[in-house]
C-alpha cells in the first residue's frame, strides 16, 4: 500500500470524522471483497465490514491523537475485520470457505489499474487469477489465510503478522510453504 495514503490519513488525525470518511472511501470495497472471499456470502460479508467500520469509529474516537497519527490504518482495519470474520465463522459453525467467490461480482471489484486493459487481457487475467485463487483455496487453512492476505490483499509480512497476531517469522514460513505447495500444484497442472 502506498505510504503516502497513510501519510494523508495521518494529516487528518485531528478530525476523527474526516479521518473516518477517508478510511471508508479508501478501504470499504477492498475489505468487502476480502470478507466475501473469506465468508463466501455477500450479505454476511457486508455486515461484517459494516460492523468493522463501526467498531473502528468507536476506537478512533477513543484513541489518543498521537495514536491516530501513527496508526497503520489499513492493516488495523484488516485486523478488526479478520477478527469479526473469525467470530462470524465460529458463530455459524461453518468451515472456512472451501471455494472462493469467483463470481462476476468479484471481478468487477478488481483494482483500478486493471480496468484499462483490453477485454481479452482482462478476461485472461481474471481467468488466471481465478485459477490461482482456486488453488489457494485448496491449501490447508494455515497456509491459505496467510497466502491470501500476503498476495491477494497485498499486505506485508509484518502486516499479516499483526493482523493474525503471529510472529512475522511464522508468517514468512507459512508463505514460503504455501507458495511451495502452489508451485507444485501448478507444475502438476501443466504436466497433466
Partner 1 sequence: MGYDDGEQQRSAERYQQAPDPNALSSSLPPVPPALAYFGLGKPSALSGLRVEELMAMLDHQDWSMRVSAIRQLEHLSAQMVIEPLISALNDEHKAVRAAAARALGNLGAEVPLAPLVAALQDPEWLVRAAAVGALGKQHTHAPIEPLLTALKDDDESVRLAATKAVGSLGERTALGPLTAALHDSAWSVREAAVHALGEAGTRIPIEPLLIAHHDADAAVREAAKLVLQQVHPEFSTFFDEMLSSSQLAEKSAIQTGELVWPVDPASAPNELAPAELWHVDTRRKEDEQIPVKASSGVSDHEQLPLGTPSSHQPTLSRLSRRKGRTSSMAKRASSTRLALLPLFGRALAAVLVLGIGLAWLALSHTTQTTTGTFFRYPSHKGGISKVAWSAPSASGSTEQVAFAEADGMVQVYDIASGQFIKDYGPYHVLAMTWGASGLRVASLEGSGVIQLYQLGNTTSPALMHPISLPLPPDSLPLVVWSTDGTHVAFAVDRTISVWDTTNQHMTTHVGLATVTALAWSQDGAAIASAYDDGKNRNIEIWDAITGKVTTPLEEPYQSVGFRVVTMAWSPAGADARLAYTLSDGDVQVWDRTLGTTFSLNRTDPNRAPDKNPPGQGFPSALAWSPDGQRLASTTATGVIQVWDEAHGNQLYTYTRHTQPINALAWSYDGKRIVSVSIDGLLLVWGQV
Q: Which is nearer to partner 1, 124 or 167 (CB)?
A: 167
Distance CA 65, CA 118 (A): 45
Give me the DSSP letters along 94-113. -PPPSS---SHHHHHT--GG
Cβ 154 to partner 1 shortest distance, Å: 19
Q: Which is nearer to partner 1, 6 or 117 (CB)?
A: 6
Cβ 136 to partner 1 shortest distance, Å: 10
CA 74 to chain CA mean position, Å:
10
Q: Which is nearer to partner 1, 50 or 102 (CB)?
A: 50
Q: Which is nearer to partner 1, 122 or 185 (CB)?
A: 185
Give the dihedral of Cα atoms 188, 133, 41, 88; nearest 10 deg. 90
Binding residues for partner 1, rule: CB under 8 A, are 17, 20-21, 24, 28, 43, 46-47, 49-51, 53-55, 57-59, 61-64, 67, 76, 79-80, 82-84, 86-87, 89-91, 96, 135, 138-143, 145, 161-162, 164-170, 172-173, 176-177, 180-182, 184-185, 187-188, 191
Cβ 21 to partner 1 shortest distance, Å: 5
Q: Which residue has the cell 481479452?
A: 120
Cβ 149 to partner 1 shortest distance, Å: 11
Amino acid at each position: 500500500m502506498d505510504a503516502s495514503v497513510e501519510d494523508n490519513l495521518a494529516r487528518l488525525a485531528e478530525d476523527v470524522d474526516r479521518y473516518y470518511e477517508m478510511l471508508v472511501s479508501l478501504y470499504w470495497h477492498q475489505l468487502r471483497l476480502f470478507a466475501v472471499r473469506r465468508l463466501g456470502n455477500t450479505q454476511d460479508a457486508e455486515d461484517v465490514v459494516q460492523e468493522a467500520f463501526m467498531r473502528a469509529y468507536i476506537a478512533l474516537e477513543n484513541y489518543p491523537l498521537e495514536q491516530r497519527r501513527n496508526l497503520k490504518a489499513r492493516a488495523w482495519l484488516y485486523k478488526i475485520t479478520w477478527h469479526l470474520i473469525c467470530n462470524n465463522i465460529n458463530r455459524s459453525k461453518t468451515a472456512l470457505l472451501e471455494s472462493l467467490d469467483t463470481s462476476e461480482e468479484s471481478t468487477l471489484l478488481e483494482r483500478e489499474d486493471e480496468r484499462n486493459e483490453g477485454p481479452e487481457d482482462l478476461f485472461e487475467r481474471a481467468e488466471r487469477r481465478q485459477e490461482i485463487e482456486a488453488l489457494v483455496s485448496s491449501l490447508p487453512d494455515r497456509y491459505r489465510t496467510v497466502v491470501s492476505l500476503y498476495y491477494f490483499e497485498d499486505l506485508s509480512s509484518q502486516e499479516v503478522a499483526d493482523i493474525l497476531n503471529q510472529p512475522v517469522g511464522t508468517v514468512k514460513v507459512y508463505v514460503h510453504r504455501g507458495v511451495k505447495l502452489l508451485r507444485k500444484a501448478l507444475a502438476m497442472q501443466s504436466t497433466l
